[in-house]
Amino acid sequence: MIEREEMPYDVVVVGGGPAGLATAIRLKQVDPELSVCVLEKGSEIGAHILSGATIDPKALDELLPSWREDGCPLAETPVTDNWHWHLTRKKKFALPHLVMPPFMSNDGNYTGSLGNLCRWLAEQAEALEIEIFPGFPAAEILYDEAGAVIGVQTGDMGIDREGNPKGDFQPGMNLLGKYTVFCEGARGHLTKRLKARYDLEAECQPQIYGLGIKELWDVPADKHVPGRVIHTQGWPMSETDSWGGGFLYHQANNQVALGFVTALDYKNPYVYPFEEFQRWKQHPEIRAILEGGKRVAYGARVINEGGWQSVPMLAFPGGVLAGCSAGFVNVPRIKGTHTAMKSGMLAAEAIASAIKAGREQDTLGEYDTAVRESWMAKELKLVQNAEPMVAKWGGEIGTVLAGADMWLRTLFGFGLAKPMKHHTDASTLQRADLYQPIAYPKPDGVISFDRLTSVSYSFTNHEEDQPVHLKLKDAAVPTAINLPLYAGPEARYCPAGVYEFVDPDGSGMKLQINAQNCVHCKTCDIKDPTQNIEWVTPEGGGGPNYPNM
């Protein structure tokens, strides 16, 4: 048995993203006497944060009304110009704003680095005497004898690849709270366990995801239009039995954030999201913006796409889910920061009230109710059929139906259909013999790049002599099932080159896991058709180190 230090708090917050920091700040605003800590697995706040991002400031206005005057970096670049393009192989067609519901407008929104917004929020939190622990991932959930969550255990440090303590071994700590708030982001590994233990998804649809791959470019000043926001749909996904879309945001300092989201419910096992992104960049309209520029950062992260019908029960004994752990992304708007923050604020208000009443480690049903009665719910219900309609009927017809459904819900309060169902992303992949391999073009090294070179621009680092944090439930499955049946999709869906099928000694193919490349996107945990891969947290501080993403 390992002796572990215990640190008691009123509230333990797992995750230093926008939801976790909003939770912590609101707790202290409501009751400055509460003791609050925030755990962050990245080496610093913002190190693992990746988003487009064009942000609706609605929740930020509620949390910190003077943020525009208080040095928040998001205030630098309000959206000034908004375009939506339908792409064919060589051309673009601009979709008029009149055909889209008013809430799809970006008027009043801001574009910038979500990581830098989180860094600024952390400064506000520390000024309120909130303790923030970067580099300390929550590795295990702690329960009392009655089965209520009482806190979390941080990961042990100094364990070798075989699981043995090294000379610099440091045991993880037990952080105990009257309530614990889980804000791990999409597909959090502890959130998965909580959903299973408390059957939180018993009355909702399964969560589904998209994989967002992003780059940051410095572009020539004469091509930069501060505040311009461009979204695209159509090509190249129209050619590969899949769907998704691109974004390109002109942010501060002559930088452009651009990326591509591939819906992970694709059927064709030869789809290669990284290569779809590289191909998209070669479209004449996109390439024209990037030529003469320089790529400065790369990264990837999954995005919740299930919508309102995939929101689970949010409260359980001793804790709650908030932010993307629960899944509050508005898919058509490609926005989730404002809803994530609002959920954290509602969680904080419910927790502060409960502690004031002398309660602890019970089920905060009032938080779940508050979310379902908030503006978050109203917003997400308007778009709840957009993703499933596109998924079912394809990019062309599905987009028209989704638009009609959103207009009807906006104007009359009802849509074309009742809330539609989802299938898990793992279940949609079909056999490789039903498809032909896709011949993706080779990178030119100017606009498009290879995957391993790209990973170097994520500044990812893991201590090599540590246990592999990508666990195979059965080591035989990749070569016995995934390779012969699905052509080894692990080698393609990962945007960081973590998985390779190799035959180093001629004895047959094996799955090699290059865990040090992992950018913590969670795609493997989601898309593996046999659900044989489980992502768990690596040693503290490991992973990407995004500078401005």
Rounded CA-CA distance 340/321 in Å is: 10
494 as an active site residue: the answer is yes
Task: Assess whether 521 carries a catalytic annotation.
Answer: yes
Q: What are phi and psi of 54, to 5 degrees?
A: -115, 120
Which residue out of 113, 337, 399, 460 is catalytically annotated?
337
Angle at 333 between CA 295 and CA 310, to 5 degrees: 110
Catalytic residue among 301, 333, 409, 451: 301
Cα–Cα distances in angstroms (integers) from residue 397 to residues 234, 390, 401, 402, 404, in the given order: 12, 7, 6, 9, 11
CB neighbours of residue 440 within 10 Å = 17
CB 426 within 8 A of CB 510: no
**Catalytic: 113?**
no
Q: Which of 43, 51, 113, 537 is catalytic?
A: 51
Pairing of strands 209-218, 157-159: unpaired
Q: How far is CA 523 from the centre of its chain?
A: 10
Report the amino acid identity of residue 323. G
Q: Which of 302, 300, 301, 324 shows the shortest CA–CA distance to 311?
A: 324
Residues, the chain = 549
- Is 301 a residue of the active site? yes
Asked whether 18 and 337 are in contact (CB, 8 A), the reply is yes
Residue 141: name the closest of 113, 171, 169, 176 by CA.
176
Query: How many Å apart are CA 435 and CA 268, to the nearest integer?
Result: 7
Is there a contact between 316 and 363 (Cβ–Cβ < 8 Å)?
yes
524 catalytically annotated: yes
Q: CB burial class (10 A; 0-12, 13-18, 19+) of residue 241?
A: middle
Backbone angles phi, psi at 142, to 5 degrees: -105, 135
- Which token pair is 511? 């799955």
**Separation between Cα atoms, residue 14 and residue 151, nearest integer Å:** 10
Q: Which amino acid is at 86?
A: H
CA distance 39 to 153: 10
Task: Return the sign of the alpha-carbon dihedral for residues 277, 283, 288, 289.
Answer: negative
Instruction: Name every residue whose Cβ is closer than 8 Å to that of residue 478 and which is 6 or more positions away in sequence.
Output: 472, 488, 490, 501, 511, 532
Residue carrying structure tokens 């059927």: 267
Instruction: Please confirm, yes or no, whether 37 is among the known catalytic residues.
Output: no
3-state secondary structure of 501: strand
Does the active-site annotation cover 287?
Answer: no
Point out the residues that are catalytic. Answer: 51, 301, 337, 494, 518, 521, 524
